[in-house]
Amino acid sequence: MTLEWIFYFAAAIAFVASVKVVTGENAIHALLYLVVSLLAVAMCFYLLGAPFAAGLEVIVYAGAILVLFVFAVMMFDLQGDRQPAVFQQSWSATWLGPVALTFTLAILLTYILLNGTFDKGIEPGIVGAKQVGIALYGPYLLAVEIASFLLLAGLIAGYHFAKYSTQGEHR
């Protein structure tokens, strides 16, 4: 019984943390909240019977990607706190529109989810790393290759964009 409680508790933490991320003033605080949210989600993965995914989430997502984030923010001073005065708009102007739109979207999704599915419970069972590995290099072999090209594209584009900004303008 307690496992379900832990799952819901972790989900709540993730939710609150991501709300703090979105509404945060300071970039670094927001990033740290993001890490907390990712860890909470990793806990959910584990509880859902996907230990490998949980491990990946912690190591790759929280560990590598967000660290890259923090590194970039620190290195290139992307704080954005020295923004021009125009930035401070009234609360309603910035938030009312998006919240209203997203609220309707959320209502629609919940309506769909609530009466759209047969309530088939997740039978307890763990999909271990071994099973994932077999599937990864079995039918999904090509997916891995293409994912690598995806990363290559990200690498080259990132390199090209950032290349010039450090050495000043290059005619």
Query: Which residues in the 15-34 window bind another protein by CB under 8 A?
Result: 15, 18-19, 21-22, 24, 27, 30-31, 34
Cβ–Cβ < 8 Å for 17, 32: no
Which residues from 102-121 bind another protein, rule CB under 8 A? 102-106, 108-121
106 HSE (CA, 13 A, CB side) = 6
Q: By CB under 8 A, name the one of 85, 90, 92, 146 that touches another protein.
A: 146
Decide: is 67 part of the binding site for another protein (CB under 8 A).
no
Task: For the CB of residue 133, give the shortest distance to another protein in the complex, in Å.
Answer: 8
**Contact status: 85 vs another protein (CB under 8 A):** no
Minimum separation from the CB atom of position 50 to another protein (A): 5
Q: How far is the CB of 64 from another protein (least distance, A)?
A: 7
In terms of C-beta density within 10 A (0-12 exposed, 13-18 middle, 19 or more buried), how is residue 46 classed?
A: buried
Q: Does 74 bind another protein (CB under 8 A)?
A: no
Helix (H, G, I), strand (E, B) or coil at 4: helix
One-letter identity of residue 60: V
* Three-state secondary structure call for residue 22: helix
**Does the footprint of another protein cover residue 124 (CB under 8 A)?**
yes
